[in-house]
Structure 1
Amino acid sequence: MVERLEVTVQMPRPTEDDVARLRAAVPDDPRVEVRPMFGNLGAFVGGHMFAGLFGSQLGVKLPEEELAELRAAGGGDFGPPERPMGGWVTVPDGADTARLVARAAEHAATLPPKQARKKR
């Protein structure tokens, strides 16, 4: 018999200011959908999340070469410290948040649309 190790991740919650910051940065595009994700908020295009909140952290999904550039400017891991999300980086203080979120939306729009999951 295999023992199952259960790991519990404490999900931080964003403040109203955090939510307003994300919503203000999301491009006005009919393809974009903003919806709750595990008590936080995510922005999606074609079923792909391209920007989101993890507590007060605002993260974006960008191509690998752009991630390195943003990390050099002060961006860090996005998501739970014990299991950060690959391909994501936090938006550093002083960065042009709206530009980065728009760029992340452009990147996500180039990916093939995700198929909707069947409801159980």
Structure 2
Amino acid sequence: MTKWKKASEELGELIGESVSEYEVEFRKMFGSPVYFVNGNMFIGVHGDGIMLRLQEEDQQKLYDEYDEAAPFTPNGRRMREYALIPPAVYDDEIEFRKWLDISYSYVSSLPKKEKKEKKKKAAPKKTKKSEK
């Protein structure tokens, strides 16, 4: 298991600039910049990498084109629709835009995810011991 690594500020700025043309919502998850479309996660920084949501056949195309591309597996658990894109993609403006467009089209087609109400913590129940 890899040790948690702080999100790269440089990559955070890169994706922030790159997604500015899309209708996205910015949030931080575990201190990392992540962008959502209609409540569905789209793209984010994880450590020193960028993860992008792609449907299965597009992930396979990415893996076929780039040996360094890999499934996104934070803490050893694979997130099915997410791939880590290699620097060869995000260092090339045209290639990065191509993959952003593919991902954005897919994520935009997903049903809108409603925000969950935060549950209020229930007061601790009194036990017979605590009443004495």
TM-score by length of 2: 0.75
- Where 1:112 maps in the other structure, the secondary structure is coil
Residue 100 of structure 1 is matched in structure 2 by: 99
Say yes or no: does 1:69 pair with 2:61.
yes
- Where 1:94 maps in the other structure, the secondary structure is helix
Alpha-carbon separation, structure 1, partners of 2:2 and 2:62: 26
Q: Sort the Cα spacing of 1:79 and 1:41 in 2 relative to 1 into closer, same or farther, 3 A.
A: farther
Give the CA RMSD over aligned residues.
2.0
Alpha-carbon separation, structure 2, partners of 1:45 and 1:15: 22
What percent of counterpart residues are identical? 25
- The Cα shift of 1:57 comes to 1.0
- Where 2:113 maps in the other structure, the secondary structure is coil
Q: Which runs of 5 or more structure 1 residues have no equivalent in the other structure?
A: 1-7
Higher relative contact order, chain-length normalized (CA < 8 Å, sep 6+): 1
- The Cα shift of 1:52 comes to 1.0
Q: Which has the higher helix share?
A: 2
Residue 57 of structure 1 is matched in structure 2 by: 49
Q: Which runs of 5 or more structure 2 residues have no equivalent in the other structure?
A: 90-94, 120-132
Off by >2 Å, runs of 4+ in structure 1:
8-11
